[in-house]
Structure 1
Amino acid sequence: MRRNLEAWCAPVASSSATAPEDADEPGAVAHPAWTRLKDAVGRLQPLQAKDGSVPEEADHAAAGELVAEVRSAVTELRPLFPHDDAYLAALDADLARWVDDGLGVPDFLDSLVAFQPQRDRVDGLQHLVVFPMYTQNGSPDRHLEAVLVEVVWPDFVADLEAGSYSNAMFVPIRFVDFTAGYDTNSAVLFPETVAMRSLPTFTWGAIFADREAARFRRVVRAAAGTTRLALPPDAARLLADQRLAEETFVMWDLIHDRTHMRGDLPFDPFMIKQRMPYFLYALEELRCDLVAFREAVALEDTVPHARLVQYAVVFDRIFRFAITGSRVKNYDGLGGQLLFAWLHQHHVLHWTDNRLSIDWAALPDVVLALGREIEDLYWRSIDRPKIAHWLAAYALVSSTLTPHPASTWAKGPDALPIDGPLKSLTDAVLPDEFPLSMFYEALTRRIGDVVASTAGITGRTDTTSGSEQAADG
């Protein structure tokens, strides 16, 4: 009880004591040029094809005028972003060339190379970002988009990154304002989504910590209330405080992101361009989250946010991830299902008398044990043929989760086309190889509308405090 009370009352170091929803509106978003820029982009997008081009000759004059309006607005806003001056100059040139070349498939390689936000990780620093791009988990079309963002870089994260958790490419950000492509579930700004003639060496990747934190808070509040899960005071505080949640997600993402290329990895790294059974992607994403959990356990006595990271990993995985998105090869959902079932089968998570409870003291060791299982799978992979590694990965997942009764994979190697191309093995995986359990089917019916309501959410739009959430002490 004493520890819980101390966790509730003790201050957590933060770069700012002001919650983002209470902050004064930044200058750029209130500038008339930003309003004109958003309007011009909004009117241009319907004229663009999926690849970003403006295919109809009859639309070229109107599109050219809209691009001119975008260029004019960017020029007016440019003095507000001296740290991005080279990028904004290159952007103007790319926009002009796009029109001069007939508004075909856009090529913004030059401005993308000039945009280097990882060089200025200063808390609160803003960027104006304009690219033809698709938005992951958002719009699949490479339409022109404009987004105002600001960096989230609290002092304790800067200290972690400068020490044992270096990640020079990681740029955590929050939304200030955005066009239609981000009025979606997208929570990343990645350079590979931009329309360009060739792929450069990527030097940064940005994640919207405010969207991650806001949807986490909304969904977990609903899930905890629906399942009558009593939360420790520090967990309840995490759900009540948007700023605290943002900083917690930045720490989690810092460690998760750097983990993808660290450790005893399979010889073929898990890269998105490789086509493999989706349960392999599920294990990779879960592995990175469990490494973040492990490091948070190690840092618990020295970094106040570390215990909050543990809550965030578990709650986001078992509540939001598991029931978000379609059931077609949903690898993030599968990772959440796996973690929930692992915790249940190791007797730290209980569903009794229609109430969910967690043995908080035993939780860390059981979560860490799952991480070791995945790491052992990876360690052994270097001595295995690829097909054998895939089969071992499937065995790991299916030892905890029940496959679909129609699964070919569940019948074992004798039922699989192991003598054919690898594609045939991947194709044999069902779109929903591991269906939702009865628990998750019921949870989806209860809070599915809450999950859906988080599309387009930001830290500024989710202003509920969450202070009503029950806590045990």
Structure 2
Amino acid sequence: MTEILVQDVTREGIATDTAVTDHPAWAELKNAVEELRPWQSKDGSIDFDAEGAPARAHAEQTVERIAVAVEQLSPLLPHDAAYHRALAADLRKWSAAGFEVPDFLDSLMEFHPAAERADGTPHLVLFPMYTQNGNPDRNLEAVVLRMVWPEWLAELEATRFDNPGYCGITFEDFTSGYDTNSAVLFPETVAVREVPESFSWGAIFCDREAARFRKVTEAAVDILGVELPEDIATLLGDQKRCEETFALWDLIHDRAHSRGDLPFDPFMIKQRQPFWMYGLEELRCDLTSFKEAVQLEAEGNEHGRDVQYAVLFDRMFRFPLTGDRNRNYDGLGGQLLFAYLHRHDVVRWTDNKLTIDWDRAPEVTNQLCAEIEKLYRDGIDRPKLVHWLKSYELVSTYLAPHPGSKWAKGADALDVTLPPRKLVDDVLPDEFPLSMFFEALAKKLKGVIASTKGITADDVVRAEQAAA
């Protein structure tokens, strides 16, 4: 595994050359976390009526081992000293209180990874939390990571894409909740007594995103017979370049959620809406990244074209076939992008070969972005249910709804006397099924996608070395 040497970070106060993941305390911490996890309930608590008194004593000892390990590792990371002190205190308070639903608000509020972003900065993070697209339970999870913040990206953020809370990060090592499809570290997932009004950071594991993108895209290109331009073939062969591509993509995507003509609260994920609304929002933010990348390329920025390729291939090939079909809003966004490009002759599936009109792809993709932006702008003057129906109309223009759908039949098939949130119950789990093209592609690509569970950059490097 790639080592974090904290001497690589040049900020004052970091002088040791010990790799965090090489320190014996890291192995002790990981082992203790894994011992504790089976006792935890979904909410993170431990039921000692079920486990018994000996288990409680063992749990107390195990949590103390974790706290001591944090204290032993903390000197390697002096920039996180306040967080680690609060973390050890929260661990011991949880133990002393009898392992009720954990509350790590105090330590969470001391963790500020975006306060001073520097490329290569290491962090040791431990919280009771769920891992989005990973483990749904609030288990203790630990991860050692480093910041991805090259100078050119810092310059773009400072001058153009202001996003002071965004952190691009990579894995060094992790507990089993991250041996999954999860590629984010969000403070909202942590068990706390009360939710703060706002958070100061959010982090994306761009090494996992890049590794998945490379593996799935290479397989899809081979299966579909796509002829790649030389620059994207080079991109797919370069893990670091792909990581930086995703760092830029996600930087722009993240800020897009609160920018533009928005007919809804930007934190719409907290609301109950039909899943195609989430799909359109995620796609809108990705297409915003694409649009900005087109402009960057026009200005001579070499990273602009990379982001365009990443958005197109990840969205068209990996997203529609990842996860199950139960309200899969990311999958829906990918399906919509492919169908739109196909309808406009940018992609063609002819003679069992997929061709792409690379010259027209930017213009037509930006055209879809404009359609969604107009939908949003018009939605400001519409009631919620009307906006949902108009959004359904846009999606169903390019994707065939399930033949049994009530929503496809329009307002006359819905009980519009009910509050809009009640009508969400009439949405089918797979409201827009996969096309025959994607059903056929899934048979050949699903195994590759499944193999990317828990993938890291090191896994890719090892595979490439073995192949060589």
Residue 260 of structure 1: aligned partner: 257
Does residue 86 of the first structure (1) align with residue 82 of the second (2)?
A: yes
Separation in 2, partners of 1:114, 1:21: 27
Residue 378 of structure 1: SS of its match in structure 2?
Answer: helix
Separation in 1, partners of 2:415, 2:457: 48
Contact 2:146 2:170 survives alignment (8 Å): yes
Residues 64-112 of structure 1: CA deviation (Å, up to 9, x unaligned)? 1111110111111010110000000000110111111111111100000
> Offset of 1:424 from its aligned partner?
2.8
Residues 260-286 of structure 1: CA deviation (Å, up to 9, x unaligned)? 000001144352110000000000000
Does residue 127 of the first structure (1) align with residue 123 of the second (2)?
A: yes
Contact 1:128 1:147 survives alignment (8 Å): yes
Contact 2:248 2:307 survives alignment (8 Å): yes
Residue 199 of structure 1: aligned partner: 195
1:140-159 alignment runs, 5 A limit: 140-159=136-155
Contact 1:214 1:459 survives alignment (8 Å): yes
Does residue 326 of the first structure (1) align with residue 324 of the second (2)?
A: yes
Amino acid in structure 1 at the alignment position of 2:412? D
Residue 222 of structure 2: aligned partner: 225
**Superposition RMSD on alpha carbons, in Å?**
1.5
Does residue 52 of the first structure (1) align with residue 44 of the second (2)?
A: yes
Separation in 2, partners of 1:415, 1:340: 29
Amino acid in structure 2 at the alignment position of 1:232? P
Amino acid in structure 1 at the alignment position of 2:176? A
Given the alignment, which residue of 340, 353, 356 partners 1:355? Answer: 353
Residue 422 of structure 2: aligned partner: 424
> Offset of 1:22 from its aligned partner?
9.4
Separation in 2, partners of 1:86, 1:104: 24
1:302-451 alignment runs, 5 A limit: 302-451=300-449
Does residue 33 of the first structure (1) align with residue 53 of the second (2)?
A: no
Residues 10-68 of structure 1: CA deviation (Å, up to 9, x unaligned)? xxxxxxxxxx9698897001111100000000101011111111112432111111111
Separation in 2, partners of 1:288, 1:270: 13
Residue 71 of structure 2: aligned partner: 75
Separation in 1, partners of 2:296, 2:343: 27
Separation in 2, partners of 1:270, 1:93: 31
Runs of 4+ in 1 over 4 A off after TM superposition: 20-26
Q: Cα 1:21–1:312, aligned 2, differ >3 Å: closer, same or farther?
A: farther
Separation in 1, partners of 2:187, 2:291: 29
Amino acid in structure 2 at the alignment position of 1:149? L
Contact 1:52 1:143 survives alignment (8 Å): yes
Separation in 1, partners of 2:429, 2:449: 21
Contact 1:240 1:465 survives alignment (8 Å): no
Residue 117 of structure 1: SS of its match in structure 2?
Answer: coil
Given the alignment, which residue of 237, 241, 254 partners 1:240? Answer: 237
Residues 335-373 of structure 1: CA deviation (Å, up to 9, x unaligned)? 000000000000010101000010000100000000000
Residue 109 of structure 2: SS of its match in structure 1?
Answer: helix
Residue 86 of structure 1: SS of its match in structure 2?
Answer: helix
Residue 213 of structure 2: aligned partner: 216
Contact 2:252 2:288 survives alignment (8 Å): yes
Amino acid in structure 2 at the alignment position of 1:159? E
Given the alignment, which residue of 99, 103, 108 partners 1:103? Answer: 99
Residue 169 of structure 1: aligned partner: 165
Separation in 1, partners of 2:143, 2:406: 45
Residue 250 of structure 1: SS of its match in structure 2?
Answer: helix
> Offset of 1:418 from its aligned partner?
1.4
Unaligned 5+ residue runs, structure 1? 1-19, 469-473
Residue 262 of structure 2: SS of its match in structure 1?
Answer: coil
Separation in 2, partners of 1:114, 1:442: 49
Amino acid in structure 2 at the alignment position of 1:266? P
Contact 1:318 1:337 survives alignment (8 Å): yes
Does residue 251 of the first structure (1) align with residue 243 of the second (2)?
A: no
Q: Cα 1:184–1:267, aligned 2, differ >3 Å: closer, same or farther?
A: closer
Residues 401-449 of structure 1: CA deviation (Å, up to 9, x unaligned)? 0001111111111111112121332111110000000110011100111
Q: Cα 1:299–1:333, aligned 2, differ >3 Å: closer, same or farther?
A: same
Q: Cα 1:186–1:63, aligned 2, differ >3 Å: closer, same or farther?
A: same
Residue 13 of structure 2: aligned partner: none
Residues 87-138 of structure 1: CA deviation (Å, up to 9, x unaligned)? 0000011011111111111110000000000012111110000111110011
Amino acid in structure 2 at the alignment position of 1:89? R
Unaligned 5+ residue runs, structure 2? 7-17
TM-score normalized by the length of structure 2: 0.94
Separation in 1, partners of 2:441, 2:464: 23
Given the alignment, which residue of 184, 188, 193 partners 2:184? Answer: 188
TM-score normalized by the length of structure 1: 0.93
